[in-house]
Structures are given as structure tokens and as C-alpha cells.
Amino acid sequence: MARLPRLVLPGRAHYIIQRGHSGGPVFADDVDRRAFLDALREASAAQRVAVHAYALPAGEVQLLATPPSAAALSATMQALGRRYVGAYNRRHGHSGTLWDGRFRCAVVESGAPVLGVLRLIDGLADLEAPGDGHGAQMAKPMAEPRPAWSSAGHRLGAGRLPWLLDPPELWRLGNTPFEREAAWRALLLQGLPAAQAATCRGAALGGWAIGSPAFLQTLAADTARPLQPRPRGRPKSKAAVA
């Protein structure tokens, strides 16, 4: 099956996953993670890409970001990869790429879907638990966040990051910083339902879209590319459905 072209829409949030090569690690420790965040901050600023959230488990990168153009997102990820991979290789005596091919992403509908992906990424604050078999941890009730591991601390009083931009959906959770922090902590402590987390992750890895049927229908009118996986099995013949 031919690889689908990546779907990137300017002004829309995107759930991005970049996995380690053959399930291998891309971060050995928090020194690596801080180096990655420095590179992310500079690369996104150069392309004017708004970064909303990050999670950095050992074997992959997860981001929520809004690009001003499709080219800006690709340029950000390419610049980020070049700088970080070079630094990682020099530090650890490694050679070659760290990544399992190109980055994957899903366009995310504004409103509840964006808030759900934000919960998924920030909720990966406790990253010691086993994951899905591919170096990725699934959503679960969070422990205290570690700032180098995820962006949860940015929204939970552990220190604001000036380069991280909260999406409008978060501001609607309360009228004051205290109210928003309390509301966000409560949502993260609940954890995202496993089925919803799996759907979001599958959409990002497959290059689909995350949102309501109406949102998908609107996108379908603007692109010839499929937005959801096709049903499994052979299609029924016309004779069979007549």
C-alpha cells in the first residue's frame, strides 16, 4: 500500500509522534531531554510554530503544536532532528539516525478533541510504567510531573515555560490561574479513558484526523486524502448489495 501524504493544515493543532528507531531509546536521561527541549524551542520559534505540550518518554517524542503552514511544521521537525540527533550522537558515541522514519501526526479539531490530546500528553508525567510494546506509555492517572519529561508542570505550578503556548481550550477551564490549575490537575488525576487515548494515538500514527464526524466531513470537502482508516476486508460487490 502506498504511503499517504502527510496531512498538515495551517492554523490547526496537530498531535505529533516521533518514535525511536526499532523501538530503541532516544533519551538516556534528563540531560538529553533538556537538550531536546532547547532545540525544540529554537526550531519552533524560527518557524513560528506554536508548541502547546510535550511528553518525552525514553523511546519517543509526543507533541501538540499548531503550525502557520504545512512547510513550517516539516521544517521545524527537520531542524529539531538535525540538531538533537547530532548532539545525542556526540554525547553517547552513537552514529546514524535515532528515528523510526518520518514523524507522524494527526490534525485535531478545536474544542474537546484538542483538550483530550492535551490531557493525553500532559498525563504522561509518570513514565516509569510499561507502555504499548513500542516504547510508548499509555494514559494513566499521573504522578507528580517531572518538568523535563512532560509539559504537565507548566500548567500545574511547577514553573511556566515562556515558549509553551496554552491553547484557548485550557483558558476556558477557569477565570484565574489558580482555577485553571485546579481544574487541570483534576482532569489529569482522572486520566484519559484508555479507548480515547488509543484512538488518538492510532490517529497520529496512521496520519488520520481527530474530531467529530462533522469535522471530518468538513475536512473531506477540502482534501482528496482519506481521513480515517478504511474498514477491513474486501468491499462488497454491487451484486451483493443490490
Mean local confidence (pLDDT), 159-179: 94
- Structure confidence at residue 226 (pLDDT): 61
- Structure confidence at residue 129 (pLDDT): 36
Say yes or no to pLDDT of 162 above 60: yes
Mean local confidence (pLDDT), 161-182: 95
Mean local confidence (pLDDT), 109-138: 70
How sure is the predictor about 229, in pLDDT bands with cuts at 50, 70 and 90?
Answer: low
Q: What is the pLDDT of residues 8-47, one digit of tens each?
A: 999 999 999 999 998 899 999 999 999 999 999 999 999 9
Question: Does any domain span residue 23?
Answer: yes
Question: Does any domain span residue 5?
Answer: no
Question: Does any domain span residue 236?
Answer: no
Mean local confidence (pLDDT), 152-166: 92
Q: What is the pLDDT of residues 53-74, one digit of tens each?
A: 999 999 999 999 999 998 999 9
- Structure confidence at residue 168 (pLDDT): 95
From CA 195, how far away is CA 199, in angstroms rounded? 6
Question: Does any domain span residue 108?
Answer: yes
Instruction: Identify which has the larger pLDDT, 77 or 225.
Output: 77
Length of the chain: 242
Question: Does any domain span residue 172?
Answer: yes
Other C-beta atoms lying within 10 Å of the C-beta of residue 134: 15
Give the CA radius of gyration of the chain. Answer: 18
DSSP line for 123-144: TTT---S--SSSS-PPP----S
Residue showing cell 536521561: 29
Q: What is the per-residue burial (b if ≥16 Cβ within 10 Å, else e) of 92-121?
A: eeeeeebbbeebbbbbbbbeebbbbbbbbb
Question: Does any domain span residue 182?
Answer: yes
The CATH number covering residue 127 comes to 3.30.70.1290
**Residue from 64, 33, 61, 241 nearest 170 by CA:** 64
From CA 203, how far away is CA 120, in angstroms rounded? 13
Q: What angle is formed at CA 40 by the lines to CA 194 and CA 182, rounded to 5 degrees?
A: 45
**Considering all CA atoms of the chain, what is the largest pairwise distance in Å, rounded to the nearest integer?**
65
Please give the tally of structural domains in the chain.
Answer: 1
Identify each DSSP E strand in 82-200 by its residue range: 104-108
Other C-beta atoms lying within 10 Å of the C-beta of residue 223: 13
Question: Does any domain span residue 168?
Answer: yes
Helices 112-122 and 194-206, interaxial angle, to 10°?
100
- Structure confidence at residue 231 (pLDDT): 55
- 13: enclosing H helix or E strand: strand 13-19
Q: What is the per-residue burial (b if ≥16 Cβ within 10 Å, else e) of 46-83?
A: ebebbbbbbbbbbbbbbbbbbbeeeebbbbbbebbbeb
Domain that holds residue 43: 13-216
Question: Does any domain span residue 125?
Answer: yes
Instruction: Identify which has the larger pLDDT, 143 or 94.
Output: 94
Please give the model's pTM, rounded to 2 decimal places: 0.86
- Structure confidence at residue 240 (pLDDT): 41
Q: What angle is formed at CA 82 by the lines to CA 145 and CA 163, rounded to 5 degrees?
A: 40
